[in-house]
Structure 1
Amino acid sequence: MATTSSETTTDVVIIGAGISGMTLAIDMMRLGNGDNFVIIEKGRRVGGTWSDNEYPGCCCDVWSHLYSLSFSPNPDWTREYPTQPEIHRYLTGVAHKYDLERHIRFNTEVKGCKFDPVTGIWTTTVRRGDDGGEATLHSRFVVSAMGQLNNPQYPKITGMDDFAGRIMHSARWDKSFDLRGKKVAVIGNGATAIQIVPELAKIAESVVVFQRSPNWITPRYDSTIPAWRQFMYRYLPYARRHYRSSLMDIREDYWNVLVDTDGEAHQGLKAMATELLSTQLPGENRAELRQVLTPNYPPGCKRILISDDYYPALGKPHVTLETAPILEITEEAVRVSSGWDSRKGQHQPQDHVVDAIICATGFQAKQFLSPLHIEVAGQETLEQKWSGGAYAYKGMTVPDLPNFAIMYGPNTNLGHNSIILMIEAQSAYINRLIEAVRTNAKDSSRGYLRISPRESATKNWNNKVQASLSKSTLASDQCSSWYKSDTGLITTNWSENAIEYQRDVSSIDWEDYQLQGPGAAELRSKGRISWTRVVEESQPWVTSWSKAAAVSVGLGILAVAVSPLRKSIVR
């Protein structure tokens, strides 16, 4: 039986205890906004996507020393590209370090958020997973830190409910189901599939990979980080920072490689991917396989993948790449079309009999904040406002939605660098909004200060982003990707490099915001406020004996460490 509801009053409700939610909460304490916040997390632990995704081979495609918070570095990464267990251990350690668990309500799902424009208060309704009871939270501010990769996207295939075997999504991996010796189908061939397939190939009787379109794949060049380098990064922090800056520089250069399709570096990237394919799947007998694995669109149109073992896995005798369209799923098989029978006027079916189906089909990335119900009393819901495609001012705030912000929102994804760079920049920005609301006391007649972006400022920012994106490879009509909506609008990705976004959100122009309630006039009179962004790229070193010593010790190490990583971008 469900327990009775309970009520809580707090300054800020944060939805999600992944990297975004954790960063925002920590910054609240670091930047002087206090610790009067509650984090709502539907899972059983912190980590977000790195808690949800536990499939075999799961790892990050960003270098480990870039995939960590600037204020909480990890000198003990064991690989150049971190695995899911190692990332999750790191995030758990960060949560312990900043004592976040006492603020988190685990196994709790947000059902909806409603804003009262009179009082300036948000009411968030949640459902507890332990007893099914409901609770309400009242706050001055709500921040969605759900991200873009939280709701699994299942394929819409006739007959999925009829399958007698096991179906699971990669983001909802069932560790209790033993795939050893099984016949396994993998639907999808994107970033997740290329990590799963090599692991399944080691244990399954057979693996069939269903591909709609091929991807550009470049070498991963992964390797272990030896203990002596970990020792150096721990006790010579300047060397670690310099290494991180070197990685940042390489990744930012990668943006130019992607957008300059006529440039030598872009062609070099394409040549590298082609060489990897021909080297790992050689021979005349594999010419047809290489052909169906070669994209007919420019690199960057879809996410560029990295792997050292996907192609070799496809070359194994018990692994099959199937490019024919799936017709349906039967009780025991995935049925595809082997051709069109003109006499019968129908597809000729071919069955792949399998014991299990893995859906490596990504997430509902274009359906931001789904399935949350978010509204301001007496106005349209956020879902209605975004019916033509999600948009937000600087990817964070939405017109007519006061005291509400989004982490990793519309047009803030990156295809070339670490998303943590964006998350930290957004956290600093949103914390300034929270500060403005927190520091203005409630007025008995006007409620709390209410802040929302002007529609004109939002449209101007969004139009600028879309204009830039329209000239990039992301807008190419030669491929389809989760970057684009059904109408072709790019709602997920940022239009420039990470540094440009950091600069763009390192200030607030209060003229771009609707300000109502106590403190509005004073805030408006300040005009623009600015702060120093976190600088990650290489900077001229300040000459001092301590820094010079650290750098001199690390120079040889950096040369050894960075050289193969730079090769993984451009030869």
Structure 2
Amino acid sequence: MAQTRLSQLTSHLHAENMKSQTKATNYAITEQPLGTPRQIRIICIGAGASGINLIRTLRLHLTNYELVVYEKNSSVGGTWYENRYPGCKCDIPSHNYQFSWRPNQTWKSFFSPANEIEEYLCRVCEEENLEGPIRTKHQVIHAEWHEEDGQWWVKIKNLVTREVFDDRAHFLLDAHGILNSWKWPDIPGLHDFKGELVHSADWPKDFDYSNKTVAVIGNGSSGIQIVPAIEPEVKQLVHFIRSPTWIAPPRIQTLQMSDASDILSQIELDENNEDFTTAQKEKFVKDHAFYKKFVKAVEKQVNGNFPIMIKDGKEAQFTKEPLRMYMEEALGNDERLCKALIPTFPVGCRRLTPGTGYLEALRKPGVRVVTQAIKRIVPEGVETVEGELIKLDSIVCATGFDVSFTPQFPIIGRDGNLQDIWQAERPRAYMSCAVPGIPNYFVFLGPSAPIGHGSVFTITEHVAKYLTRIIRKCQYEGIKSISPNAAAVEEFYEHIDTFMPRTAWAGRCRSWFKNGQENGPVIALHPGSRIHFFHMLEQFRGEDWDYVYENKHGCRENRFAYLGNGFSTKELDPAYDSTWYLNEPDAF
């Protein structure tokens, strides 16, 4: 009955509209009720944590849409599918490194290894029926915005058949991640080496390093995990480090001394203080109140780390000396090692990494720490700037990723190719997720995201909700395209650049937060705490955006065309309570 009534009303109103339309305005009423979403198509790039969560968020909050997720790997998981080197694990507590909507009470370890996180992501996809939109072994290689039809024209390569085909979408969501494109170090002669050359992010399954002389180049997070993991099995380990770095005690120890100590004292771990006991996992499953209390207590502590990053704050001052003492003790007060490893720059300038067993491994008889710069790599091994030739069987490059934020393929918007724009100037994004002149393009964990602030899982949930609200607005309000205006982004970065000098991140150190530069601007991080970022995304600031409205049937654009034929879907849908406003008069 409701549809028949609507059809009759629409037909009548359309006739009246044609009478009232004048050549002077060239504007016509849209014959649909207020609240009608237009059909849209969305392409997402990447099926890591961000892409997986996006599928669910769109399913819950959008209607009348199509979604496809292109993933270059043969399975979901992103970082946790690709990184499988020995010792690879997350340094965020397991029960806080998960989707808030899909808790896993049976994590094996307090800090999960990569394979367990990958298994979790695969299981979530399967059990939550999120696999449908995902196309694995498909790589996006080109995307171009077409203004006339308000769509992205995208080229995709099938990595099995090598076929390249076209797809189109109204919105392009980039969830390929920041730690995605690994790179070899820029060392002369690197590929002249005749032994085994391995990158930590492309670890061969059959790489046998036992009883060999192995070099590990780099002391970032990956190197810090690899060294103690392979040290017991190699013949000799040669560790090349370029910069000192702050190493934190095992995080469970610091948590046990925090405000979370009360709940942690009730948690049962094995004799190694790493894995949960069977009884503990059973308690997590059965006692929901206790489990939630545990997760929230640890989450609160993780969120509370930001004050340490304020370089002149009391928390930073109180942290530095205990860390120095911890490192000295772990290094056996070895003068050479302490000088090489313990920084003078602020705590947090480089990513603060818990290094369980790392410092202790550097003192083992079969480990040599080399601080001399590498001049070049030759077929037999490494030649230092002082002329020493260090012969090696294998070289492991734990040298990280391309963190320039420059896309790996052309993304061409109104103002040109984003690759060229971000290569020529500093990468900048509105609230980390949108770019001026690139309509209907949104990125997860873009420039100035809180990727050094805690669990990425919860962060990506907030970003997905924020972006979904924007897409809904476009769907329901007749917005053909949307992009942040340049003035808003300029002022956003004026705030960032004024704020960052008060943080440790801006200190004098070589950091991937600054794209590997010692004194460059902080590109990667949000100017505030994790909670600050979540709070910022609660409201959509419509005044910061440029809009292009739909132009149907050749009529003039009108921002209020979405008001339609005078009726609301809330009164025409028999399943909707059309007097909802009487239910909660004080709702805001």
**Normalised by the shorter chain, which TM-score bucket?**
0.7 to 0.9
Indicate the residue corresponding to 2:439 in structure 1. Answer: 402
Total equivalences in the alignment:
495
Instruction: Answer yes or no: is the 8 Å Cα contact 1:368–1:410 preserved in 2.
Output: no
Quote how far apart the aligned CAs of 1:32 are. Answer: 3.0
Indicate the residue corresponding to 2:548 in structure 1. Answer: 516
Instruction: Answer yes or no: is the 8 Å Cα contact 2:40–2:65 preserved in 1.
Output: no
Matched, 1:492 2:516: no
**Cα 1:380/1:240, change in 2 over 3 Å:** same
In the alignment, residue 547 of structure 2 is paired with which amino acid? L
In the alignment, residue 510 of structure 2 is paired with which amino acid? S
SS in 1 for 2:232: helix
Quote how far apart the aligned CAs of 1:385 are. Answer: 2.6
Matched, 1:294 2:342: yes
Indicate the residue corresponding to 1:318 in structure 2. Answer: 366
SS in 1 for 2:96: coil
CA RMSD of aligned residues (A): 2.0
**Cα 1:335/1:513, change in 2 over 3 Å:** same
2:393 maps to which of 331, 355, 368: 355
SS in 2 for 1:508: coil
Indicate the residue corresponding to 2:82 in structure 1. Answer: 52
Instruction: Answer yes or no: is the 8 Å Cα contact 1:10–1:137 preserved in 2.
Output: no
Indicate the residue corresponding to 2:384 in structure 1. Answer: 336
Indicate the residue corresponding to 1:385 in structure 2. Answer: 421
Quote how far apart the aligned CAs of 1:417 are. Answer: 1.8
**Cα 1:427/1:208, change in 2 over 3 Å:** same
2:286 maps to which of 211, 222, 235: 235
1:152-231 matches, within 5 Å, as 152-222=182-252, 223-231=274-282
- Give the whole-Å Cα distance in 2 for the aligned partners of 1:418 and 1:493: 14
- Give the whole-Å Cα distance in 2 for the aligned partners of 1:241 and 1:34: 35
Quote how far apart the aligned CAs of 1:25 are. Answer: 1.4
Q: Deviation per CA, 1:421-475, whole angstroms, max 9, x where unpaired?
A: 321111001111222334467xxxxxx7111111111222222122211221111
Quote how far apart the aligned CAs of 1:27 are. Answer: 0.5
Instruction: Answer yes or no: is the 8 Å Cα contact 1:10–1:138 preserved in 2.
Output: no
1:237-256 matches, within 5 Å, as 237-256=288-307
Q: Deviation per CA, 1:254-280, whole angstroms, max 9, x where unpaired?
A: 1112214341x3233223322322222
- Give the whole-Å Cα distance in 1 for the aligned partners of 2:311 and 2:383: 41
2:461 maps to which of 424, 435, 458: 424
Give the TM-score normalised by the residue count of structure 2.
Answer: 0.81
Instruction: Answer yes or no: is the 8 Å Cα contact 1:122–1:142 preserved in 2.
Output: yes
Indicate the residue corresponding to 1:504 in structure 2. Answer: 536
**Cα 1:54/1:293, change in 2 over 3 Å:** same
Indicate the residue corresponding to 1:461 in structure 2. Answer: 492
Instruction: Answer yes or no: is the 8 Å Cα contact 2:309–2:504 preserved in 1.
Output: yes
- Give the whole-Å Cα distance in 2 for the aligned partners of 1:507 and 1:516: 21
Q: Deviation per CA, 1:379-407, whole angstroms, max 9, x where unpaired?
A: 41112332211111111111111111000
In the alignment, residue 267 of structure 1 is paired with which amino acid? Q
Q: Deviation per CA, 1:176-206, whole angstroms, max 9, x where unpaired?
A: 1211111111110111101001111011111
Indicate the residue corresponding to 1:269 in structure 2. Answer: 319
SS in 1 for 2:488: helix
Quote how far apart the aligned CAs of 1:288 are. Answer: 1.7
In the alignment, residue 81 of structure 2 is paired with which amino acid? S
Indicate the residue corresponding to 2:129 in structure 1. Answer: 99
Instruction: Answer yes or no: is the 8 Å Cα contact 2:40–2:475 preserved in 1.
Output: no
- Give the whole-Å Cα distance in 1 for the aligned partners of 2:354 and 2:321: 14
- Give the whole-Å Cα distance in 1 for the aligned partners of 2:323 and 2:151: 53
Indicate the residue corresponding to 2:258 in structure 1. Answer: none
- Give the whole-Å Cα distance in 2 for the aligned partners of 1:99 and 1:511: 37
2:331 maps to which of 281, 288, 312: 281
Matched, 1:132 2:162: yes
Q: Give the gaps of 5 or more residues in structure 1.
A: 1-8, 339-348, 442-447, 526-571
- Give the whole-Å Cα distance in 1 for the aligned partners of 2:165 and 2:225: 40
Indicate the residue corresponding to 1:342 in structure 2. Answer: none
In the alignment, residue 177 of structure 1 is paired with which amino acid? F
Instruction: Answer yes or no: is the 8 Å Cα contact 1:11–1:438 preserved in 2.
Output: no
Instruction: Answer yes or no: is the 8 Å Cα contact 2:98–2:458 preserved in 1.
Output: no
Instruction: Answer yes or no: is the 8 Å Cα contact 1:57–1:195 preserved in 2.
Output: yes
- Give the whole-Å Cα distance in 1 for the aligned partners of 2:419 and 2:467: 22
Indicate the residue corresponding to 2:263 in structure 1. Answer: none
SS in 2 for 1:21: helix
**Cα 1:56/1:515, change in 2 over 3 Å:** same
Between stretches 71-80 and 219-228, larger displacement belongs to: 219-228
SS in 2 for 1:507: coil
Q: Deviation per CA, 1:96-146, whole angstroms, max 9, x where unpaired?
A: 122222211111111111111110011110111101001111111100001
In the alignment, residue 376 of structure 1 is paired with which amino acid? G
- Give the whole-Å Cα distance in 1 for the aligned partners of 2:482 and 2:293: 39
**Cα 1:261/1:421, change in 2 over 3 Å:** farther
SS in 2 for 1:277: helix
In the alignment, residue 383 of structure 2 is paired with which amino acid? R
Quote how far apart the aligned CAs of 1:211 are. Answer: 0.4
Indicate the residue corresponding to 1:549 in structure 2. Answer: none
Q: Deviation per CA, 1:473-513, whole angstroms, max 9, x where unpaired?
A: 1111x212111145712110111111111111111122211
In the alignment, residue 224 of structure 1 is paired with which amino acid? D
Instruction: Answer yes or no: is the 8 Å Cα contact 1:60–1:82 preserved in 2.
Output: yes
- Give the whole-Å Cα distance in 1 for the aligned partners of 2:91 and 2:363: 23
**Cα 1:413/1:363, change in 2 over 3 Å:** farther
Quote how far apart the aligned CAs of 1:88 are. Answer: 0.7
Quote how far apart the aligned CAs of 1:522 are. Answer: 3.7
Indicate the residue corresponding to 1:538 in structure 2. Answer: none
In the alignment, residue 493 of structure 1 is paired with which amino acid? L
Q: Deviation per CA, 1:287-336, whole angstroms, max 9, x where unpaired?
A: 22222111121111111110220011111111111000000000011111
Instruction: Answer yes or no: is the 8 Å Cα contact 2:477–2:562 preserved in 1.
Output: no
Indicate the residue corresponding to 1:367 in structure 2. Answer: 405
- Give the whole-Å Cα distance in 2 for the aligned partners of 1:150 and 1:247: 28
**Cα 1:464/1:141, change in 2 over 3 Å:** same
Quote how far apart the aligned CAs of 1:359 are. Answer: 0.7
Instruction: Answer yes or no: is the 8 Å Cα contact 2:45–2:71 preserved in 1.
Output: yes
